[in-house]
């Protein structure tokens, strides 16, 4: 597992009103590399609601912002739980958290956002790789609570790397076959995703929804294996965006609220152009992963480069991520 649960590397651009201070109530080591952090309001009050699959941004004292999936139960309003994997590839987020964040510390977070929502379905198949289990764990809690069927295929390097084992066994209850653990060291190979997908679609694809969260190669294999499924039945949570941002510039952006028009120059994103003009916008990852900068499009044709929007949302051109996406038309009109 090469990802660490982080969804992007950024400097904080979030508007202050979007942030909340929470206290770390408990730190729990799940595996040698993965720890969970339980975050609560300092006065014990209810937290803003979230739905399974959502994430929050942590604003770290070193100036970085990192997004982490919530792995707790959406019915619990007094705490958020995140899982963080210490990664050798850490760009400062997971290492800082593991080395510095302790019980009693206060941390600034954004309100939850959900780019990976759970759909009500007859059969829900969840595929996780390593720390990619975190959003799927919150989904399993929800599916179990409402009595919907689910099966989890959970790929890890070895048994010792399987986080949340006791939670998952408890959630599987008297149907342990719902939990399919794949240990690379025991099988001598990575999870056969094509075989997993085929097993579930051979009996008919109708009513099956498949979710995948894990390292890049797993997501690529999942995309290929589910290519024949309708796009609204396959769901992927990305940690990185392999598509380059649109920075050719050379188009105008009209801001509907003020009527102001800005020219986006070559080498700049729409977000950077707005900020350079002194216009404050919500953003976080700046890579098209988190959805924080989603903006309504009132005119023109965006050049979508994010990994947040669904195929249908891209085609509708009703919204766009202004941190990475550009314009195919000479002018865009934005609801700003
Ligand atoms: S800031 Fe994360 S998608 Fe744009």
95, 62 Cβ separation under 8 angstroms: no
- Ligand 1, atom 3: closest residue by C-alpha: 288
Pocket of ligand 1 contains residue 289 by CB under 6 Å = yes
pLDDT at position 18: 55
Q: Give the closest residue to 142 by CA, choosing from 152, 150, 130, 153.
A: 150
pLDDT at position 182: 97
Ligand 1 test: best mutation among 285, 325, 326, 334, most atoms within 8 Å of CB? 285
| Phi-psi map region of 92: left, alpha, beta (phi>0 left; psi -120 to 50 alpha) | left
Residue with the bigger pLDDT between 33 and 17: it is 33
pLDDT at position 12: 37
Query: Could you say which of 3.30.460.80, 3.40.50.80, 3.40.50.450, 3.90.105.20 is the CATH number of the domain covering 123-237?
Result: 3.40.50.80
> Using one digit for the tens of pLDDT, what is the confidence trace for 168-214?
999 999 999 999 999 999 999 999 999 999 998 887 768 899 999 99
Domain boundaries, the chain: 16-110, 123-237, 251-334
Cα separations in angstroms, 83 against 22, 67, 78, 181: 16, 11, 17, 19
Pocket of ligand 1 contains residue 293 by CB under 6 Å = yes
Pocket of ligand 1 contains residue 288 by CB under 6 Å = yes
Distance 16 CA to ligand 1 centre (A): 16
Model confidence at 114: pLDDT above 70: yes
Pocket of ligand 1 contains residue 319 by CB under 6 Å = no
Q: Looking at domain 251-334, does it have CATH number 3.40.1010.10?
A: no
Pocket of ligand 1 contains residue 286 by CB under 6 Å = yes
Most distant CA pair in the chain, distance? 62
Using DSSP's 3-state secondary structure scheme, residue 169 falls into helix
pLDDT at position 8: 44
Confidence tier at 113 by pLDDT (50, 70, 90): very high
Q: What is the CATH number of domain 16-110?
A: 2.40.30.10
Cα separations in angstroms, 103 against 60, 97, 189, 197: 15, 12, 38, 41
**Measured distance CA(120)–CA(149) in Å, rounded:** 10
Ligand 1 test: best mutation among 283, 309, 313, most atoms within 8 Å of CB? 283
Confidence tier at 333 by pLDDT (50, 70, 90): very high
Model confidence at 265: pLDDT above 80: yes
Distance 304 CA to ligand 1 centre (A): 12
Cβ-Cβ contacts under 8 Å for 265 (sequence gap 6 or more): 249, 250, 273
Pocket of ligand 1 contains residue 290 by CB under 6 Å = yes
Distance 324 CA to ligand 1 centre (A): 7
> Using one digit for the tens of pLDDT, what is the confidence trace for 232-256?
999 999 888 889 999 999 999 999 9
Pocket of ligand 1 contains residue 295 by CB under 6 Å = no
pLDDT at position 92: 72
Strand ranges (DSSP E) for 214-316? 234-237, 251-255, 260-264, 294-299, 302-303
């Amino acid at each position: 597992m090469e990802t660490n649960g982080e969804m992007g590397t950024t400097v904080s651009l979030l508007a202050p009103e979007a942030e909340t201070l929470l206290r770390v109530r408990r730190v729990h080591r799940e595996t040698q590399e993965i720890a969970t952090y339980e975050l609560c309001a300092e006065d014990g009050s209810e937290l803003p609601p979230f739905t399974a699959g959502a994430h929050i941004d942590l604003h770290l004292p070193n100036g970085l912002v990192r997004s982490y999936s919530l792995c707790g139960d959406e019915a619990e309003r007094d705490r958020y739980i995140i899982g963080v994997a210490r990664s050798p590839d850490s760009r400062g987020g997971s290492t800082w958290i593991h080395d510095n964040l302790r019980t009693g510390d206060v941390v600034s977070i954004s309100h939850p956002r959900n780019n990976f929502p759970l759909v009500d379905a007859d059969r829900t198949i969840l595929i996780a790789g390593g720390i990619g289990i975190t959003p799927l764990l919150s989904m399993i809690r929800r599916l179990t609570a409402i009595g919907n069927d689910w099966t989890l295929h959970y790929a890890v390097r070895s048994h010792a790397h399987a986080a949340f084992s006791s939670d998952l066994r408890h959630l599987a209850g008297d149907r342990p076959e719902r939990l399919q653990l794949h240990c690379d060291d025991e099988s001598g190979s990575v999870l056969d995703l094509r075989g997993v997908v085929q097993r579930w679609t051979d009996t008919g694809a109708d009513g099956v929804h498949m979710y995948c969260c894990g390292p890049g190669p797993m997501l690529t294999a999942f995309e290929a294996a589910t290519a024949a499924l309708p796009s609204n039945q396959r769901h992927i949570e990305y940690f990185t965006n392999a598509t380059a941002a649109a920075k050719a510039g050379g188009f105008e952006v009209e801001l509907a609220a003020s009527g102001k028009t800005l020219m986006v120059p070559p080498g700049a994103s729409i977000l950077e152009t707005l900020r350079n003009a002194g216009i404050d916008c919500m953003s976080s990852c700046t890579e098209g992963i988190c959805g924080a900068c989603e903006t309504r499009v009132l005119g023109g044709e965006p050049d979508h480069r994010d990994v947040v929007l669904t195929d249908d949302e891209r085609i509708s051109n009703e919204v766009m991520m202004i941190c990475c996406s550009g314009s195919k038309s000479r002018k865009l009109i934005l609801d700003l």
